A and B are shown apart, each in its own frame.
Chain A
Amino acid sequence: MEGWALLSLVIWLPIIGGLIVLVAGDKLSRPAALIFSVITFLVSIPLWTGFDPTSYQMQFEEKHTWISSFNMFYHLGVDGISMPLLLLNTFITVLIVIAGWEVIKKKPAQYMAAFLIMEGIINGVFAAQDAMLFYIFFEAMLIPMFLVIGVWGGVNRVYATIKFFLYTFFGSVFMLVSLLYMYNKSGSFAIADFYNLKLGMTAQVLIFLSFLIAFGVKVPMWPVHTWLPDAHVEAPTGGSVILAAIMLKIGGYGFLRFSLPMVPDAARELTWLVVFMSLTAVVYIGFVALVQKDMKKLVAYSSIAHMGFVTLGFFLVYAIYRNTGSYEGSVLAMQGGMVQMVSHGFISGAMFLCIGVLYDRMHTREISAYGGVANTMPIFTAFFVLFAMANTGLPGTSGFVGEFMVILASFKASFWIAFLAATTLIVGAAYTLWLVKRVLFGGVANEEVALLQDVNKREFLFLAVLALAVLLLGLWPQPLTHVMGASIQHIVELATQSKLPGVN
Chain B
Amino acid sequence: MGEVMNFSLATPEIFLLFSTCAVLLLDVFLSDKCRTFGYMAALLAMIATAFLVVSSFGIERSFAFNGMYVLDNMSVILKVSVLLVVIATFVYARSYLIDRNIFKGEFYTLSMFATLGMLIMISANTLLVIYLGLELLSLSLYALVAFRRDDGRASEAGMKYFVLGAIASGMLLYGMSILYGLSGSLELKGVAAYVASQQIMHNMVLLFGLTFIIVGLGFKFGVAPFHMWVPDVYQGAPTPVTMFLGSAPKIAAFAMTMRLLVNGMEFGAAGWQQMLIPLAVLSMVIGNIAAIAQSNLKRMLAYSTISHMGFVLLGILSANEQGYSAAMFYAITYALTALGGFAVIILLSQSGIEAEELEDLRGLNERHPWYAFMMMLFLFSMAGIPPLVGFYAKLAVLQATVQAGFIWLAVLAVTMSVIGAYYYLRAVKLMYFDKPVESSTISMGFSFNTLLAGNGFLVVILGLFPGLLMALCVEAVKMSL
* A positions within 8 Å CB-CB of B: 66-70, 110, 132, 135-137, 139-140, 142-143, 146-147, 150-151, 157-158, 161-162, 165-166, 169-170, 173-174, 176-177, 180-181, 183-184
10 closest A-B pairs by beta carbon, nearest first, are A173-B414, A136-B386, A67-B467, A150-B433, A180-B402, A170-B418, A139-B386, A69-B470, A177-B410, A140-B386
B421 touches A169 (CB 8 A): yes
> B411 at interface (Cβ–Cβ under 8 A)?
yes
CB distance from A424 to the nearest CB of B (A): 34
CB distance from B385 to the nearest CB of A (A): 6
Q: By the criterion of a CB under 8 Å from any partner CB, how many residues of chain B are at the interface?
A: 34
Measured in the bound complex, the distance between the Cα atoms of B365 and A180 in whole Å is 37
Identify the closest chain B residue to A136 (Cβ).
B386
Contacts of B470 in A (CB 8 A): 67, 69-70
- Known A146-B428, A166-B418, A180-B395; further 12 A-B contacts with Cβ < 8 A: A67-B470, A140-B387, A151-B365, A151-B432, A158-B429, A158-B433, A162-B425, A162-B429, A169-B421, A174-B411, A176-B395, A181-B402
Contacts of B65 in A (CB 8 A): none
> B11 at interface (Cβ–Cβ under 8 A)?
no
> B15 at interface (Cβ–Cβ under 8 A)?
no
Identify the closest chain A residue to B329 (Cβ).
A69
Contacts of B349 in A (CB 8 A): none
CB distance from B297 to the nearest CB of A (A): 18
Cross-interface CB contact of A176 among B387, B414, B467, cutoff 8 Å: B414
B421 touches A166 (CB 8 A): yes
Measured in the bound complex, the distance between the Cα atoms of B396 and A166 in whole Å is 22
Cross-interface CB contact of A177 among B387, B411, B428, B465, cutoff 8 Å: B411
Cross-interface CB contact of A150 among B403, B407, B429, cutoff 8 Å: B429
Contacts of B369 in A (CB 8 A): 110
Contacts of B428 in A (CB 8 A): 146
Q: Knowing A135-B386, A139-B386, A146-B425 touch, does A157 contact B433 (C-beta < 8 A)?
A: yes
Interface residues of B in 339-379 (CB under 8 A from A): 365, 369
Contacts of A132 in B (CB 8 A): 395
Identify the closest chain A residue to B325 (Cβ).
A69
> B380 at interface (Cβ–Cβ under 8 A)?
yes
> B64 at interface (Cβ–Cβ under 8 A)?
no
Contacts of A169 in B (CB 8 A): 385, 418, 421
A139 touches B433 (CB 8 A): no
Measured in the bound complex, the distance between the Cα atoms of B426 and A110 in whole Å is 20
B385 touches A166 (CB 8 A): no
A166 touches B425 (CB 8 A): yes
The 7 sampled A-B contact pairs (Cβ below 8 Å) are A69-B467, A70-B470, A136-B386, A150-B432, A162-B425, A173-B417, A173-B418
When each residue 396-422 of chain B gets 1 if its CB lies under 8 Å from chain A and 0 otherwise, what string results?
101100110001001100110110011
> B474 at interface (Cβ–Cβ under 8 A)?
yes
A177 touches B418 (CB 8 A): no
Cross-interface CB contact of B403 among A139, A142, A146, A184, cutoff 8 Å: A184
Contacts of B410 in A (CB 8 A): 177, 180
Measured in the bound complex, the distance between the Cα atoms of B434 and A161 in whole Å is 13
A177 touches B407 (CB 8 A): yes
Q: Knowing A69-B467, A166-B422, A180-B399 touch, does A136 contact B391 (C-beta < 8 A)?
A: yes
Contacts of A143 in B (CB 8 A): 380, 385
> B271 at interface (Cβ–Cβ under 8 A)?
no
Q: Knowing A146-B425, A181-B402 touch, does A68 contact B411 (C-beta < 8 A)?
A: no
Measured in the bound complex, the distance between the Cα atoms of B386 and A147 in whole Å is 15
CB distance from B363 to the nearest CB of A (A): 11
Q: Knowing A66-B467, A140-B385, A143-B380 touch, does A181 contact B407 (C-beta < 8 A)?
A: yes
Cross-interface CB contact of B398 among A67, A69, A147, A176, cutoff 8 Å: A176
Measured in the bound complex, the distance between the Cα atoms of B415 and A180 in whole Å is 15
B432 touches A147 (CB 8 A): yes
Contacts of A184 in B (CB 8 A): 399, 402-403
Identify the closest chain B residue to A68 (Cβ).
B467
B391 touches A139 (CB 8 A): yes
Contacts of B422 in A (CB 8 A): 162, 166
> B466 at interface (Cβ–Cβ under 8 A)?
yes
Contacts of A180 in B (CB 8 A): 395, 398-399, 402, 410
> B471 at interface (Cβ–Cβ under 8 A)?
yes
Measured in the bound complex, the distance between the Cα atoms of B429 and A418 in whole Å is 45
Q: Knowing A66-B467, A173-B415, A173-B417 touch, does A165 contact B398 (C-beta < 8 A)?
A: no
A69 touches B474 (CB 8 A): yes
A165 touches B421 (CB 8 A): yes
Identify the closest chain A residue to B473 (Cβ).
A69
Contacts of B471 in A (CB 8 A): 68-69
Measured in the bound complex, the distance between the Cα atoms of B365 and A477 in whole Å is 46
Measured in the bound complex, the distance between the Cα atoms of B418 and A161 in whole Å is 15
Cross-interface CB contact of B466 among A67, A137, A170, A183, cutoff 8 Å: A67
Measured in the bound complex, the distance between the Cα atoms of B433 and A157 in whole Å is 9
Measured in the bound complex, the distance between the Cα atoms of B386 and A174 in whole Å is 15
Contacts of A151 in B (CB 8 A): 365, 432-433
Contacts of A135 in B (CB 8 A): 386
Contacts of A140 in B (CB 8 A): 385-387
Measured in the bound complex, the distance between the Cα atoms of B411 and A142 in whole Å is 21
Contacts of A147 in B (CB 8 A): 432
Contacts of A174 in B (CB 8 A): 411, 414
Contacts of B403 in A (CB 8 A): 184
Identify the closest chain A residue to B392 (Cβ).
A67
Contacts of B467 in A (CB 8 A): 66-69
Q: Knowing A67-B467, A162-B425, A166-B425 touch, does A142 contact B415 (C-beta < 8 A)?
A: no
CB distance from B237 to the nearest CB of A (A): 31
A136 touches B387 (CB 8 A): yes
Contacts of B429 in A (CB 8 A): 150, 158, 161-162
Identify the closest chain A residue to B426 (Cβ).
A162
B414 touches A177 (CB 8 A): yes
Contacts of B391 in A (CB 8 A): 136, 139
Contacts of A157 in B (CB 8 A): 433
Contacts of A150 in B (CB 8 A): 429, 432-433
Measured in the bound complex, the distance between the Cα atoms of B418 and A165 in whole Å is 10
Measured in the bound complex, the distance between the Cα atoms of B471 and A183 in whole Å is 18
Contacts of B466 in A (CB 8 A): 67
CB distance from B112 to the nearest CB of A (A): 34
Measured in the bound complex, the distance between the Cα atoms of B418 and A94 in whole Å is 33
